[in-house]
Amino acid sequence: MSISRRRFTSLTAAAIAAMTFQSRAIQAAARETGLKDAFKDDFLIGTAINKWTLEREDSTQRDLIAREFNSITAENCMKWMEIHPEEDRWNWGPADQFVEFGTKHGMHIVGHTLVWHSQVPRTVFQDENGNPISKERLEARMQHHIATVVDRYRGKIAIWDVVNEAIEEDEKGWRQSPWFKILGPTFMERAFQLAHEADPKAHLIYNDYNEHNPGRRNFLVERIRDYKRRGIPIHGVGFQGHIGLDYPDLREYEDSIEAIAAEGLAVHVTELEVDVLPRPSSFTGAEISAVQQYADKLNPYVDGLPKEVEQEQIDRYKRFFELLLKHREKIQRVTFWGMHDGESWKNNFPVRGRTNYPLLFDRKLNKKPVYHAVAGLGRT
């Protein structure tokens, strides 16, 4: 056999070996499906991403996110204060990086959020002298902000949280935010119209917490009916889903899912996690001298979550997902507010510096038993 013939033969063998290896790798990757695959016939499965996850050199978490989720929400980088810190200054870097990541992985990208009373510079509501701004000028600022942000990501962001947390609980009506106080109740419909003008194909939603609250639900349903009558473009409602082991009442939650769907709008669970820590409200009335004692009581699992509490959380997540699956036709997406316990905002809210365990992955990015319990409810 000539040298060239030998080389040819060995190259061919190497190529065959490489191909076999490749196809095994593809098969293995296909077997390694994530939450998104478990629920592929039910709803999109999302996570919130923070800028550190996107910036970090180590790609482990990003790779896991790409495998587990098919939708992403910007945890902070698209909020007014972050993306538009001063009237003439825009901070596009982190938001661009977020959108690039989602586009690269073919994900459903959620923009959060255009109009909110929180994480917005105070100066938005003030004139040059620090006095309250006029209605006309605030409306112009809102228009400029929405048009600029939505236009930049037109065609890339599928869903916008247009207005966040504008309604009070318990039949109290509109939240008395600067938006409401200065612009009046039409600020919300104006925001939806502006977002729609900037990207007519985007799916536009209203987002809030404690959506199970009947007073909040009723007020929202009234607004939706009115908007639909007058052609205001609203397509869905986000239920944040910051739930705990014993709240909210899931029957009330179900009533709200049904009420929104009955208006023809899509339901999104937008910021899900299950808090396992004691609620500070149960400790109100504490004497100052007992503050440390209460602080310890409020942060009881620094060294790990006891098995029985872990089981309670598993049961709670399962009941919650069973409810969502029962209404899968009404629910377009279920997004967790973060991926792993260590990055959850719940370590700092409503009390700073606690050790919480609200998500499906632990601090080392491992799947927790609750992950398997939830994934097991899916159909793959």
Task: Tell me which residues are annotated as active site.
Answer: 165, 271
Min dist CB 372 to ligand XIL, Å, is: 25
Find the radius of gyration of the CA atoms of the chain. 24
Residue listed under structure tokens 């973060």: 338
Min dist CB 339 to ligand XIL, Å, is: 12
| DSSP letter, residue 361 | B
Using rule CB under 6 A, residue 47 touches ligand XIL: no
Min dist CB 272 to ligand XIL, Å, is: 11
Min dist CB 283 to ligand XIL, Å, is: 22
Return d(Cα 175, Cα 206) in angstroms, integer. Answer: 14
Residue of the chain from 71, 193, 240, 332 that contacts ligand XIL (CB under 6 A): 240
Q: What part of residues 261-280 is at the interface with ligand XIL (CB under 6 A)? A: 271
Using rule CB under 6 A, residue 37 touches ligand XIL: no
How far does Cα 45 stand from its chain's mean position? 10
Element (H, E) at 319: helix 307-326
Print the binding letters for residues 124-163 with ligand XIL: x by CB under 6 A, - otherwise: ----------------------------------------
Q: Transcribe 227-268 into DSSP letters.
A: HHHTT----EEEE--EEESS-S-HHHHHHHHHHHHHTTPEEE
CB closer to ligand XIL out of 9 and 119? 119
* Beta-ladder partners of 146: none
Min dist CB 27 to ligand XIL, Å, is: 38
Using rule CB under 6 A, residue 75 touches ligand XIL: yes
Residue of the chain from 61, 164, 313, 335 that contacts ligand XIL (CB under 6 A): 164
Print the binding letters for residues 199-238 with ligand XIL: x by CB under 6 A, - otherwise: ----------------------------------------
Return d(Cα 83, Cα 116) in angstroms, integer. Answer: 13
Q: With CA atoms as reference, report the closest residue to 316 among 273, 258, 261, 287.
A: 273
CB closer to ligand XIL out of 42 and 275? 275
Tally helices (H) and strands (E) across the chain: 14, 9
CB closer to ligand XIL out of 68 and 271? 271
Residue nearest to ligand XIL (CB): 345
CB closer to ligand XIL out of 164 and 256? 164
Min dist CB 165 to ligand XIL, Å, is: 7
Q: What is the bridge-based pairing of β-strands 203-208 and 44-49? A: unpaired
Q: Are 273 and 359 in contact (CB under 8 A)?
A: yes
CB closer to ligand XIL out of 38 and 177? 177
Q: What crossing angle do the helices spanning 187-198 and 135-152 adopt, rounded to 10°?
A: 30
CB closer to ligand XIL out of 115 and 370? 115
Q: What is the bridge-based pairing of β-strands 266-275 and 331-336? A: parallel
The site that binds ligand XIL (CB under 6 A) totals a number of residues, namely: 6
Query: What per-residue string of b and e applies to 246-273 under the rule 16 or more CB within 10 Å gives b?
Result: eebeeeebeebbebbbeeebbbbbbbbb
Taking residue 35's Cβ as centre, other Cβ atoms within 10 Å add up to: 22
Using rule CB under 6 A, residue 335 touches ligand XIL: no
Residue of the chain from 53, 61, 71, 76 that contacts ligand XIL (CB under 6 A): 76
For residue 209, CA distances in Å to 234, 323, 358 come to 18, 18, 16
Using rule CB under 6 A, residue 345 touches ligand XIL: yes
CB closer to ligand XIL out of 206 and 371? 206
Min dist CB 206 to ligand XIL, Å, is: 12
CB closer to ligand XIL out of 112 and 316? 112
**CB-based contacts of 189: which residues, under 8 Å, 6+ apart?**
227, 230, 232
**Site residues for ligand XIL per CB under 6 A:** 75-76, 164, 240, 271, 345
